[in-house]
Amino acid sequence: FFQEVATDHGRAAAVLRACTAFLGGEAAGAGAALLVRCLETLASSGGADGRWLDDVAALPVEEFEVAVEAMRARFAHDHDLMYTIVDHYLQNHRGKLTEEEKSRVCYNVNCTKLSHHLFMHLVQNPRLPLRFVVQAMLVEQLHSHHSMLLSGGHHHHAGAAGAPSSAAPPASLLKSSLSGAFGACGGFAATAAAAGDAASSMTLGDILQRDAVLRQSAHIRASMQATTQRIDSLERELAGLRTRLRRRHHQGHHEHQGPQVSAGARVQEPVRPETSHRRRRRAAHVRRTRRCARERERQSHVHRCAGARRRRRRRRADAASPEESVHRVIRAIACVCMATAMHACMIRVVYTSIRRSDLIMLPLSLHGHMIYFRC
């Protein structure tokens, strides 16, 4: 393995992908052990640009549990790589795993074997089960308390030599507490590594206080933004109301003082800035006025024409027809002839005038009368 695989990143990635096919069969144990060694090789050298994490994340949850158990058996003192792989797997399967499956995968990670920055990441990781995070915080608090007891016991022994050994902090009590905390959740290791200097690390209380301050600040910021937006909207509404009230006040003032102004005087209107909207309204008013004037002129012309036609019809109806006029002339001539037979010259003149008018053909009776009078 060290000669053929560990020295070649591409071959290690190929062996890793080949080992994934054996995790579901009878050779699952051997395949998982070889897969873990390939993971360790690739992680230590950063080979394949991190694509080996995607190869592991593509495994089903049952096969991934087999691989995680093999990693737990191999990485006895450092679980940083295992936590990184588990977190990447949960990130790629978000919403696809149940809480029970998440718990089975996560409880293989021993938080006491994580580095400080990964432990801080674990406490703030929203993808992990809440119960697992709370237990990790409890373990960190127990370690902080244990460090404080060790520090106090060291100073006490340095100040008073020869003191009974019963004053030392009960380390067995801490070990039993850690064993009880981890044993009830799936088999954490009973022993715990040293937590380091408590003064240089961030404790659980500091983390909780920082998160509370951040949440409170975000809430206050959101409330202030909402309040500012509401105030802006109210100011705009108030400005609009003031404008409308001012316009109504000016209109009412002009209507009230309109009858009291003399005929020659003009009310001086306030000068308003000319806007495009006002120009459009004025142009539309001018066009409407011209259109109304043209319509009134057309209607008056129609009325005049209709009146002229009515007057012509009335005159035509009142005037007598030419035939009736001729009949009246004939009757008048007949009356004259019967009254005075000596006025033939006058009858001749009337007849000549009637003949020259050429309005209608004279009846034969009139011709007969004229012939009679001529004779």
Tens-of-pLDDT digits for all 375 residues of the chain? 666 666 666 777 777 778 877 777 777 788 888 888 888 778 777 655 667 888 888 888 888 888 888 888 888 888 888 888 899 889 888 888 888 888 888 888 888 888 888 888 888 888 888 888 888 888 777 777 777 777 655 544 444 444 444 334 444 434 444 444 444 334 433 333 333 343 345 566 666 777 777 887 888 888 888 888 888 888 888 888 888 888 888 877 666 555 554 444 454 555 556 677 788 888 888 999 999 999 999 988 888 898 888 888 777 766 655 556 666 666 666 665 655 555 556 666 666 666 555 444 445 555 555 555 454
Q: Which of 116, 107, 183 is nearest to 143 (CA)?
A: 116
Reference 250, options 265, 279, 271; nearest CA is 271
Question: Could you give the CA distance from residue 304 to residue 231 in angstroms, rounded to a whole number?
Answer: 67
pLDDT at 58 (0 to 100): 84
Whether the CB-CB separation of 38 and 19 falls below 8 Å is answered with yes
In this prediction the pTM is: 0.42
> Position 90: which residue type?
L
Q: Give pLDDT, residue 38.
A: 82
Alpha helices for 20-60 (secondary structure H): 28-45, 51-57
The dihedral of CA 21, 23, 26, 29: what is its sign?
Answer: positive
Q: Which parts of 160-231 are beta strand (E)?
A: none
SS3 114: coil
Output DSSP code: residue 112.
G
